[in-house]
Amino acid sequence: MCEEDVTLEDVCCGLKVGQKVPDFKIDIYDSANKAFGEISLEQLKKDGKWTIIVFYPADFTFVCATEFEAIAERYEEFKKLGAEVITISTDTKFVHLAWQRDEKSLAKVAYPMGADPTGSISRLFGVYNECSGLDLRGTFVINPDGLLLNSEVNFYNLGRNFDEVLRKLKANLYLAGHDSEACPAKWQKEGDTTLKPGADLVGKVFEATH
């Protein structure tokens, strides 16, 4: 249903932060091995992996190519932290192969490229545009227990900063072992100042962070 026809009953927000993500499987183009395959959230959880899902509008588009290059530059860091990055669009795995082969911005891509031509997984996460058949730029961080911890959605014309996605992953990893603490806005890495919520901190955040 298109924009001018939308009513409140038509709006579906998808999964929300704090919810468990249902297990799913998706066909992929395995760009590292130049092969087709399949990846599942269930197996990633069994392997103790964090899962970062990156939805994007379409192959052979423009901002998307810059995002793919940016992810490729940080992919080894994500892997070292125990995370798998999966990019997903409504293109088929065959189009993924052609784009990765032909677009030089994707030359160093070595992460799985997921194909969701029916939009079923895209709808699950609330990023599918029923009018265009394309996905919005949604980024989701799922912990090894399948819990959705971070969610961000941009419109088509705004690319994402994957240094910030990496920062979020590092913060989540730190907080998983320090659940009585909180990471402030400028937190970058373990060793940086954190906050310990409690009565003593009320009205004293400036003193704790400067």
**Which structure tokens are listed for 34?**
């130049």
14-46 pLDDT, tens per residue?
899 999 999 999 999 999 999 999 999 999 999
Helix (H) or strand (E) holding 71: helix 63-80
C-alpha separations of 93 from 44, 101, 198 in Å: 20, 12, 50
Is there a catalytic annotation at residue 183? no
pTM for the model stands at 0.93
Helix, strand and coil percent figures for the chain, each rounded to 5: 35, 25, 40
All CATH 3.40.30.10 domain ranges in the chain, comma separated: 3-177
The tens digit of pLDDT for each residue in 187-204 reads 999 999 999 999 999 999
Fold classified for 3-177: Glutaredoxin (3.40.30)
Measured between alpha carbons, how far is residue 102 from residues 2, 36, 68, 165 in Å? 33, 17, 13, 27
Burial class from Cβ neighbours inside 10 Å (0-12, 13-18, 19+) for residue 7 reads: exposed
Q: Catalytic one among 2, 12, 13, 64?
A: 64
